[in-house]
Structure formats: structure tokens, C-alpha cells
Amino acid sequence: MKVEILHSWQVSTAQALDIQLRLASQVSRSNEVATPRFIAGVDISVNRAQGMATGAVVVLNYPELRLVETKIVNGELGFPYVPGLLSFREAPLTLAACQRLTLTPDLILVDGQGIAHPRRMGLASHLGLFLNTPTIGCAKSLLCGQHGEPGDELGSYTEVVDGGETIGAALRTKLGTKPIYVSIGHKVDLQAAIYWVLECCRGYRLPEPTRLAHLAAGGNLGRERDPPDPQGRISREVF
């Protein structure tokens, strides 16, 4: 998979902030996703004590969501842990894994924020620009903004608002669990992002692409024991 070189990763904190502000204006919030053939998920597992990490990308076919390719890259972290600047810490290894793919995904789901970020430039948006590919942020926690509680039914959501701007959605993807936070990454609008996240859910809280990427990054892909109930009621699962 081709990776664009938009800037160096060897930057200071001040330079990273400037880069985020500059790139935020380049993020497309218009939907360019029709019917994808391949949907990827990316995640990273960090060993803070050793300063090492594992970046993983998985590719699933659609609509079956069958795993067709996995790439994993291990390496050192070249940027300190700074809230709001995680893409400078995590993106290099993630991009290195994506660069090794033989298949080119039409859509990428990212375990992280898109524009639901103080400077509207989270990991999903950053990766989308580097890969020139539609991306969606699928975060497990809220970084900024406020929202009401979504309804209990699957697919219910409430908008996440920051400074009067809608930046994402708190989306119910599994009964009896907390919502996940969906936001535009690049080349997608919010309604399309919500739609594709729900399309990729198979009874777990997380959509399959990011769930399997998380397992791959942690070295646990293929070690699941029990599939979830279609209504999301079985608790013996990873998420």
C-alpha cells in the first residue's frame, strides 16, 4: 500500500502542534466510500517500559468480513507520550505495517480519534492523509466534547459536540455496554462513518476490523474461544 510522505516524524512538540493545525484543513469531510471490497483495521500495542510497540493492520473482505491479510511491525517509539499528539507516537509503525500490504483497502477503521480531537487531527485523520484513503475513527473513550447518552438499542447514537461543532457520535454497538466514539477520519462524512461502523459489527462492542487489529497487535489473533451471540449477550469475549 502506498504511503505519502507529508512531513518528518522527527519533530518537537511545538512542531507537531503546528503540523496538526496545518493538516487539519486538508481533511476531507465528504463521503467517498461507495461499496468497499476490502475494509482494514489498524491498532497498536505499546510496551511503555521498553519503549517498544507493535503496529498491526488487518484486511477483511466485505460483506463477509473474512480476514484476508495481516501485517505486523515491531519497533521503537520515536515520540514521547503527549495527550493529543498520539499520532506522532503511533502512526510511523502503523504506516510501516500498511506499507507491507499486498491488498489495498477501500476503507480503514482506526482504533483512535478522527476529527473528534482538540485540533481536529486525530490518528485516523492523520493516517487518512498519509494513505490517501477513507478512514474512520473508532475510539473506545472520549477525548473532547460532550454528548448525551444514546438509547439502549443497537445503532442508537448521540452527537458529540465541541465548541458548537459536531465532531463525532457516541454510538451504541452492543447491548449493555458503553458506546464507542465514531468520527470522520478522512474522505467520509459522519453519517457514512456511523453506517460503516455498524456494518462491520458482529456482536462485539468494537467493529471487526479494529477488534481483530487489536488482537493482532497483542499477539492474540486466533485465540478467541466463544463467538458472540448475534444479539450481543455472551460475555466470554475480548470486547
Over residues 87-104, the mean pLDDT reads 97
Hey, is 173 helix, strand or coil?
A: coil
**pLDDT at residue 228 is higher than 50:** no
Output the pLDDT for position 227. 40
Q: How many residues would you count in the chain?
A: 239
Each residue's pLDDT tens digit, 120-175: 999 999 999 999 999 999 999 999 999 999 999 999 999 999 999 999 999 999 99
Q: Which CATH number fits domain 19-217: 3.30.56.10, 3.30.2170.10, 3.10.520.10, 1.10.340.30?
A: 3.30.2170.10
Output the pLDDT for position 48. 78
Burial class, 80, CB count within 10 angstroms (exposed 0-12 / middle 13-18 / buried 19+): exposed
- Local structure of residue 219 (DSSP, 8 states): T
Q: Where are the alpha helices (DSSP H) in the chain?
A: 13-24, 86-99, 123-131, 190-199, 208-217
Output the pLDDT for position 158. 98
Over residues 199-222, the mean pLDDT reads 95
Q: Pairing mode, if any, of strands 38-47 and 52-61?
A: antiparallel
- Enumerate the domain spans of the chain: 19-217
Q: Residue 207's Cα: distance from chain center in Å?
A: 10
Output the pLDDT for position 223. 52
Q: Pairing mode, if any, of strands 107-110 and 38-47?
A: parallel
Looking at the DSSP assignment, which residues form a beta bridge with residue 138?
182
Q: What is d(CA 104, CA 179) in angstroms, rounded to the nearest whole number?
A: 29
CB contact at 8 A, 122 and 115: yes
Each residue's pLDDT tens digit, 53-83: 999 999 999 999 999 999 999 999 999 999 9
